[in-house]
Amino acid sequence: MLKLFLTKNIEMKLYYLITCIMLMSVINFAQLYNDPMKFFPAQTGDMWEYFYYDAPYSDTLQLFSVKDSVDEQGVIHLWQSSGFINPPKPPVLAGSNYYKIDKEGNVEGYWESYRGILFKLKAVQGDKWILKEYSANAFEIIRVDSVFESSLFGMNTVIKKYRRYFSDDSSAITGLDRTAKFLAYNLGLVRVDGLEGLGSLFIKGAVINSVIFGDTTRIITSVFDDETGDYLEEFNISQNYPNPFNPSTKITYNIPQRSNVSLRIYDVLGKEIATLVNEQKEAGTYNIQFDASKLSSGVYIYSIQAGDFLESRKMILMK
């Protein structure tokens, strides 16, 4: 009897200890990630770079927060611009997004024909809502499928998976999948599956509140590679620096062989703004300053062509 009592007593203590550890983990989890707004950074100048894949095509997509403001009700208004940096031909025609984020962490997206809540930043696993009602038996629904801890760019974070699907039942928790988007604490959008039938996105790097995460560009300072002792064999154009900028910025590009080089600036509508280079260049690395003092604030595209090499990138002028 005494042995049985001691065994049960030990079991109760062990159960109590495990319960305390689990509760402490939940409390620490909540304390570490207690600001829902950090799942969707919304500051002017933030930038994300993604690997885009839709077999057999792949590219790099850049997303920029061009402008943000806060109204009298405390609602955040955010304008973003995005586009591929290496399209079949220049210039990149940017896509534009407009969001409103209220104090409850509801992120509302706006389109030409309608608007809807894309993310509820305070939502927990299992929460769902109707994005759009097409008719009495046709709904587009968003559900938080999972919330989990992960590690990105050497730091711990929490990721929420928002799944978007169609159903003829407004209470359905599954349906015809359209896309799934993943938001990470302190990083924002880090992954998109499906991209509404047009491929997937995976984050490569970001610049958020002037802090760099991951790899946003391969900066080349010489045609000689210090690590291998070989000459670089690739054409390359780096992200301009600084970015955002006012009123001038530096653009660096590398050519591994003599080439006819053209470097031009466009606005987001495809209108040519300036020609910075249009001549034959020897192999090497070149830096060129772009002065935008006579231009208005906004997103601009710089595009280089050297032989068969063609690449474009975005930059933000912020006055």
For the stretch 31-65, pLDDT in tens is 556 899 999 999 888 888 888 877 667 788 888 88
Q: Provide mean pLDDT across the span 88-111.
A: 75
Q: Per the structure block, which two tokens stand in for 246?
A: 């006012």
CB 222 within 8 A of CB 292: no
> In this structure, how many other beta carbons lie within 10 angstroms of the beta carbon of residue 275?
10
Q: Provide mean pLDDT across the span 298-317.
A: 82
Q: Per the structure block, which two tokens stand in for 249?
A: 């910025």
Q: Which residue has the higher pLDDT, 112 or 199?
A: 199
Sheet of 298-306, strands arranged across: 272-281, 259-267, 298-306, 309-317
Tell me the pLDDT band of 90, cut-offs 50, 70 and 90. Answer: very low
pLDDT for position 195: 57
Q: Provide mean pLDDT across the span 255-284.
A: 87
Query: What is the dotted CATH code of the domain comprising 36-214?
Result: 2.40.360
> In this structure, how many other beta carbons lie within 10 angstroms of the beta carbon of residue 270?
12
Per residue in 4-23, pLDDT (tens digit) is 444 445 455 544 544 444 44
β-bridge pairing 211-214 and 236-237: unpaired
Question: Residue 200: which residues within 8 A CB-CB, separation 6 or more?
Answer: 52, 53, 54, 191, 192, 193, 194
CB 68 within 8 A of CB 77: yes
CB 299 within 8 A of CB 316: yes
pLDDT for position 120: 97
Instruction: Please give the CATH architecture assigned to the domain spanning 236-317.
Output: Sandwich (2.60)
pTM assigned to the model:
0.62
Distance CA 193, CA 182 (A): 9
Q: Per the structure block, which two tokens stand in for 255?
A: 């050519």
pLDDT for position 126: 95
Question: Residue 190: which residues within 8 A CB-CB, separation 6 or more?
Answer: 152, 159, 182, 183, 184, 202, 203
pLDDT for position 32: 56
Per residue in 213-236, pLDDT (tens digit) is 887 654 333 333 334 333 344 677
Encode burial over 159-182: b for 16+ CB neighbours within 10 A, e otherwise: bbbbbbbbbeeeeeeebeebbbbb
pLDDT for position 106: 96
Looking at the predicted structure, is the pLDDT value of residue 277 above 60? Answer: yes
C-alpha distances in Å from residue 102, one per residue of 107, 164, 205, 214: 7, 21, 27, 29
C-alpha distances in Å from residue 87, one per residue of 26, 115, 167, 179, 198: 46, 29, 35, 23, 15
What's the maximum distance between 2 C-alpha atoms anywhere in the chain? Answer: 96
pLDDT for position 39: 96
CB 144 within 8 A of CB 123: yes
Domain boundaries, the chain: 1-32, 36-214, 236-317
Looking at the predicted structure, is the pLDDT value of residue 201 above 70? Answer: yes
Looking at the predicted structure, is the pLDDT value of residue 26 above 50? Answer: no
